Chain A
Amino acid sequence: MYELIEKSEIFNVHKMVIKAPEIASSIKPGQFVIIMGNEYSERIPITASDWNTDTGAITLYVLELGISTLELARMKVGDSLYVVTGPLGTPSEIKKYGTVALGSGCYGIGGIYPIAKACKEAGNKVISIIEARYSSMFYHEKELHAVSDQVLYATSDGSKGKKGKVEDVIGEMLEKGVKIDHAFFMGCTQMLERCSEATRPYAIPTKVALNSIMLDGTGMCGACRVSVGGETKFACVDGPEFDGHKVDWKELNRRRSAYTEQESVVYQSYSHECMAEKKLRQEL
């Protein structure tokens, strides 16, 4: 079950191609899966980047951040994941908008690809904007180029494209009068917020894929609740995409950081385990 059939690493983002044929034949752009590397893991929600109904494989880009994703990162081709559940969440609303801008960074570059692809297939002009710290951190570029009319880059060090971030690129476009009819953003919360602020003055309909803490992913627990336009929504079933101009970012950031202390505890226990393992090997 859920065999890992391909794996590679781009800095701390890990490409994992996993056998999950039922999910591959039912998932839609914007939906996610929940995975567990082993029976002790947390349940980790990951947006699906690609899927193939012929091979039954799904492609995920997993950001290594915390113990459960670190353990996922250590898995090898041929290993099996303990849990792959999905598809979860409401699919992106895809239609002919006109010109669609899709901004992403980090794991979002992989995650936003199927939305870009579907937008292209729906007859939109697709402008993809991706950000990273250095040019060598980009990935999935060939695929993104294939479904985009234009791919624009932003890097913190200026090594590729504009020196800056996605919102700088999009801000400049809007200032120049480029007409954008719809925007999608995927990446860290800070990026989603800044990009939403960039499109707000131009009243561009903006969808952001939120990454609040989740547990079951079926609406049962409410861990992922977010305030959107003053209403409480569950990101796992009502989202993950919401109107970026209505999200309560402060609350989202605060709720996302709720377990920082516990995460550090588990890291310490992990390094302790590794030390124990090392000691054992030395003794042998």
Chain B
Amino acid sequence: MELTAKERMAIERHGMAEQLPDLRNRNFEEVPYGYTPEEAVAEAQRCLSCKKMQCISGCPVEVPIPEFIALVAEKKFAEAARLIKTKNVLPAVCGRVCPQETQCEEVCVRGKKDVTKAVAIGNLERFVADYERENNLMEVPEIKDKNGFKVAVIGSGPSGLTVAGDLIKLGYEVTIYEAFHRGGGVLVYGIPEFRMPKKIVEKEIGALEDLGVKIYYNSVIGRLHKVDDLFNILGFNAVYIGVGAGLPIFLDIPGKNLNGVFSANEYLTRSNLMKSYLFPKYRTPMIIGKKVAVLGGGNVAMDSARTAIRLGAEKVTIVYRRAREQMPARAAEVHHAEEEKIEFRLLSSPVEIYGNGEGWATGMKCQRYELGEPDESGRQRPVPIKDSFFEFDCDQVLMSIGGQANPLITSTTPDMKINKWGYIEVDDWGRTNKEFVYAGGDIVTGAATVISAMGAGRRAAKAIHEDLMKETDETLRPPGGETEEGDEEK
């Protein structure tokens, strides 16, 4: 039965049922349970199927949102998932970790006045992807005949997986080189189990392998093979670099190297990739702080804080230099953190970490800040308040204040252009200055989101396809230009 616009407008947004805060802050199970089919259909009915479809333009990979939502309303869940997958190879991931509130949902007509009233596009995306996977309805998409070109993808994070997924379908032979022993990049080492269950990532990667993507684990490109070797020795025709951001930054204050002071990268990698939350079954140890201070206001800071509370910290405090509205973390993550009784010390920044005689962190001295004039980014600049300090006890400090470009690849590829911060320079389509070398994701932009990395991967895959096909037409055609493959392609 077709609903009228008025009837659709009358339906309230459906939230997802969640584990209660006092229960979930002691386990690593996923926080939201997901929609029931009934909830999904009801939520889908809220969509007005506007002509303008602004939601699509709000999505970095242009998922056909109103179309998939219409399928959900018709209870064609697996079909909806397949439709999304024509544009987004990782819907179960994006449904969970995309910042929809600043993308598709932000421009949704129903969220014009209040974004929390927008159609829950992300929740629906997650639902259909989970439905398809859990009911074993995943289908192997159509793959073009092999075209004879080999592409190497460095890094199996969101952008690398997107490039691999797009190119394998177009008939390329695709090999991914991954530095770690598990695939997924930030999805496995960075984002915790309670936000991104690892079995979903494994399943998505398994699906790519079923399509014929080869993955070499434990392969640190730049050390094991140089980029040039991938062409000259290993015979690849194109290389995509999606290695992520890399090096952590440590706030340069006294005490930064005390025992108990970690980069968020280390803390999360121990817990997530090495599974030290399951210590001692998994052997990698983790120091369990009693009073934990987390520096920073991004999603990584929230993930670190929420991991600390789950590992058994008595008290976790987030220390952030700016105000709450300026936190780069998703509102939902900040909200989840607050529910889990994580404290916030806003407009504060540490000036020193104190240690005991044995060199273990014991406390922190912070300076208070106030908001001043806006800076280049338009945010009000935090200005330290003179002589306004406070101290508090902490035996663990997790620094989550951003990163720098990892030089492992760029330093061994000296003829590839990088900017002054060490990130790779590319055109709008991910082309570097080096022929047939492409890059995308955090190694180009610095720390950003999963979906923007996937968008970059999508564009680079298009560029690789275009450039290599041009190559077929122009140079690989046999002398005389009479016959063969080049012509047949047309």
> Quick one: given A220-B406, A254-B358, are A67 and B283 in contact (CB under 8 Å)?
yes
Interface size on B, residues (CB 8 A): 40
State the CA gap A216–B223 with chains docked (Å). 14
Docked CA distance A225–B262 (Å): 10
**With the chains together, A234 CA to B248 CA distance in Å?**
11
Say which one of A40-48, A49-57, A196-204, A275-283 lies at the interface with B: A40-48
Interface residue A265 (Cβ < 8 Å from any Cβ of B) = yes
Q: How distant is B292 from chain A, measured CB to nearest CB, in Å?
A: 16
- Residues of B within 8 Å of A219, CB to CB, are 246-247, 406-408
The answer to whether B248 touches A222, judged by C-beta atoms less than 8 angstroms apart, is yes
The 8 A CB mask of B268-304 against A (1 = contact, 0 = none) is 0110001000011111111100000000000000000
A269 adjacent to B280 (CB under 8 Å): yes
Q: Known contacts being A216-B269, A225-B257, is A41 close to B283, with CB within 8 Å? A: yes
Note all chain A residues with C-beta closer than 8 A to B218: 83-85
Query: Cβ of A87 < 8 Å from any Cβ of B?
Result: yes
Given A40-B282, A269-B280; A222-B274 close (CB under 8 Å): no
Q: Are A40 and B266 in contact (CB under 8 A)?
A: no
CA separation between A266 and B250, bound complex, in Å?
30
Please indicate the chain A residues that have their CB under 8 angstroms from the CB of B274 in the complex. Answer: 42-43, 215
A84 vs B223: C-alpha distance in the bound complex, in angstroms? 13
- Contact between A266 and B283 (Cβ–Cβ < 8 Å)? yes
- Number of A residues near B (Cβ < 8 Å) is 46
Asked if B246 and A227 sit within 8 Å, CB to CB, the answer is no
Chain A, residues 213-245, CB within 8 Å of chain B (1/0): the string is 001111111110101000010100100000000
Q: Which residues of the other chain, A, contact B266 by a CB distance below 8 angstroms?
A: 215, 221-223
Q: Which chain A residue shows the least CB distance to B282?
A: A40
Q: CB-defined interface of A57-99 with B at 8 Å, one 1/0 digit per residue?
A: 0000000000110010000000000111111100000000000
- Interface stretch (choices A11-19, A178-186, A255-263): A255-263
A sample of 4 more A-B contacts (CB under 8 A), given A215-B270, A221-B263, A255-B259, is: A42-B285, A85-B218, A222-B265, A254-B358
Interface, chain A (partner B; CB < 8 A): 22-23, 26, 31, 36, 39-43, 67-68, 71, 82-88, 215-223, 225, 227, 232, 234, 237, 250-251, 254-255, 258-259, 262-263, 265-266, 269-270
For this complex, 6 residue pairs linking A to B, each with C-beta atoms less than 8 Å apart, are A22-B225, A26-B224, A217-B220, A220-B406, A258-B287, A263-B285
Interface residues of B (CB under 8 A from A): 179-181, 189, 217-220, 223-225, 246-248, 250, 256-257, 259-260, 262-263, 265-266, 269-270, 274, 279-287, 358-359, 406-408
